[in-house]
Structure 1
Amino acid sequence: MKIRHSLFAVLALAVATPALAFDLPPPVEAPEYTGTISGVSGWYIRGDLGYNASLDAGKPSWESYSSKDNSYDNVTFDSARLDGNFNLSTGAGYQFNDYFRTDLTLDYFKTDFDGKSIRNTSCSAGQLASTKCGFSHTDSLASLGLLANAYVDLGTVWGLTPYVGAGAGVASVDWKGMTTSKYCTGSKDCDNGIKYEDQETSGIESWRFTYALMAGVSYDIAPRTKLDLGYRYANIAGGDMTDYSENEQKKGAKNPKAQDDGIGRHEFRAGLRLTTW
């Protein structure tokens, strides 16, 4: 009797199992994120940290003024150097499709200027004619630029999207004020005890044209978030650096005393782009 009951239970379970399996919905597989987002478009915000691997000061120049005949003597810097430094950038843009996007960015950087120049005349009448007068110039600047940029994304491979881009806009260049030190050179007889006072001149702030060329690669580190690594060459047009000193202006000097030849920057940058809506 017990054996028949057991057999009956086994047969009932065997019949019921397929029916239950038929009633259950099929299993749903969770989608796998592969690191590549295709077809995402919309507004995005961005932030970048860059390093100025190379700063080119061009060929700046300065003038000396003679009140005797109201004349100006232009002197080109024999050497001019801008110290490398970090820069910051932030902006917002729109991704139109998988291949084209644009944005507006604000770029900020600071740098120090160091220049030297030598004139083939003595610093003063008390020195030998064989001596020359050397000048050491120091200054610093801060710049804030507004650029409109356009980029072409070149397709995505293994989650990496290389791109090229270009931008143009305006930049505020704010020179802080130049200190010029005079010294005798060119002869062992320079050390004659003559002391020269440093000359302080006020800096000039001006708005200038600027442009940039970019290339890099982005990677989708999360949905709607991209890591951006790139190189950028940025160039700011030349302009005025500093005015004449108060004393020189009282004697009649009117033109800007020094002018830079433009500022070129080779930057390596890293940042994030976040698609918002």
Structure 2
Amino acid sequence: MLRKTVLAFAAAVLFGAPAFAADLIEEVPPAPIPLATSGWYLRGDVGYVFKSNNNGHWDFWNQFPGVEGVDDTFYYKDFDLDDAASFGGGVGYRFNDFLRTDVTADYFSPDLDGRRGCPSYIAATQYGQAAPDITCKYKDSADVDIVTVMANAYVDLGTYSIFTPYIGGGLGAAYVDYGNLKVEQCGTSDCGASPNDNVFHNKGEDSWRFAGSLMAGVTMDVTGPLKLDVGYKYTHITDGDAFGYDAADRATGAKGAQIKDDGFDLHTIRAGLRYEFF
């Protein structure tokens, strides 16, 4: 009897041990499978464009009968585009974890403020001023609308927790549309103090130009498909026509652009959202 009891106990231990051991091992759930996106995404951005210096040159038109024409060309360095907000959006495609591209359009509308010195013969004939004591100047003001359309490529530099830094670059075009320029001719710092002070209006020009940009920033995962993008963007826009001649110059035969800019270097801090489609 004892022998049968021992044999039964041994069999229970021998054949029941695997099941007992299996019960002690906690079952590991399968690893989650990341959701695959289609690669396509939409983006929207807002930004702040910092003040940009705008250099260029302008032609002085001689209205005197018989010698009408451009007498001289002067260079200016004191035209500034004021700070302004920018708004943009675009559509893109992600090829893999490191490379993505998009096409974007951005718009901003800064004010332009400028200062130019009067030519010496204007200072002499209208204000009796001679070098080095010339105080005659032109005060300029206008508004500008700028739209950039860019094709961009980005390299994502790896993901760290929920953050993905990136660098990028873009090529495209910019549409620059100047409003009418108000020019105040001032004999002293106090415009309107002299009877020879005057106000002119020059028609604004518009043109498409080449543009290029460089970007750097970081993306933060908000949800699976939604990303927050914060970064810096540098944009260079090439030179072009800015303003035509005023009515008095045009009446004596002046045509085309009187003032031409040397282009812009724009510095923008921006933030936006990207939504990736599954």
TM-score band by shorter chain is: 0.7 to 0.9
Map of 1:10 onto structure 2 = none
User: Secondary structure of the equivalent of 2:210?
Assistant: strand
1:142 pairs with one of 145, 149, 156: 145
* Cα RMSD for the two superposed structures: 2.8
For 1:42, give the aligned amino acid: G
2:186 pairs with one of 171, 178, 183: 183
Residue pair 1:41, 1:96 contacting (<8 A) in 2 also = no
Q: TM-score normalised to the size of structure 2?
A: 0.80
Q: TM-score normalised to the size of structure 1?
A: 0.81
**Match status 1:172 vs 2:162:** no
For 2:128, give the aligned amino acid: L
Per-residue deviation, residues 54-100 of structure 1 (Å, max 9, x unmatched): 4232x122222013323322122242211111101100000010000
Change in CA separation of 1:123 and 1:213 when aligned onto 2, cut-off 3 Å: same
Residue pair 1:137, 1:180 contacting (<8 A) in 2 also = yes
Map of 2:15 onto structure 1 = none
**Match status 1:71 vs 2:74:** no
Change in CA separation of 1:65 and 1:49 when aligned onto 2, cut-off 3 Å: same
Distance 1:221 1:138 in 2: 43
Residue pair 1:226, 1:273 contacting (<8 A) in 2 also = yes
Distance 1:182 1:241 in 2: 19
Alignment of 1:1-277 (within 5 A): 40=37, 42-57=39-54, 59-68=55-64, 69-72=67-70, 73-119=72-118, 120-123=120-123, 125=125, 127-130=127-130, 132=134, 133-185=136-188, 193-277=194-278
What displacement does 1:236 show?
1.0
**Structure 1, unaligned stretches of length 5 or more?**
1-21
Distance 1:182 1:201 in 2: 13
Equivalent residues, number: 248
Change in CA separation of 1:218 and 1:78 when aligned onto 2, cut-off 3 Å: closer
Per-residue deviation, residues 34-69 of structure 1 (Å, max 9, x unmatched): xxx786551000001111134232x12222201332
User: Secondary structure of the equivalent of 1:125?
Assistant: helix
For 2:151, give the aligned amino acid: A
Distance 1:47 1:126 in 2: 53
User: Secondary structure of the equivalent of 1:223?
Assistant: coil
Residue pair 1:39, 1:97 contacting (<8 A) in 2 also = no
What displacement does 1:229 show?
0.7
Distance 2:79 2:115 in 1: 7
Per-residue deviation, residues 97-149 of structure 1 (Å, max 9, x unmatched): 00000000011011111111113344463532436321111111001111000
Change in CA separation of 1:160 and 1:71 when aligned onto 2, cut-off 3 Å: same
User: Which stretch has the larger CA shift, 75-84 or 259-268?
Assistant: 75-84
Map of 1:13 onto structure 2 = none
Per-residue deviation, residues 7-31 of structure 1 (Å, max 9, x unmatched): xxxxxxxxxxxxxxx9xxx989698
Map of 1:9 onto structure 2 = none
What displacement does 1:259 show?
0.9
Distance 1:140 1:197 in 2: 21
Distance 1:192 1:54 in 2: 30
Residue pair 2:53, 2:78 contacting (<8 A) in 1 also = no
For 1:247, give the aligned amino acid: A
Distance 2:230 2:37 in 1: 20
For 2:68, give the aligned amino acid: N
User: Secondary structure of the equivalent of 1:77?
Assistant: strand
**Structure 2, unaligned stretches of length 5 or more?**
1-21
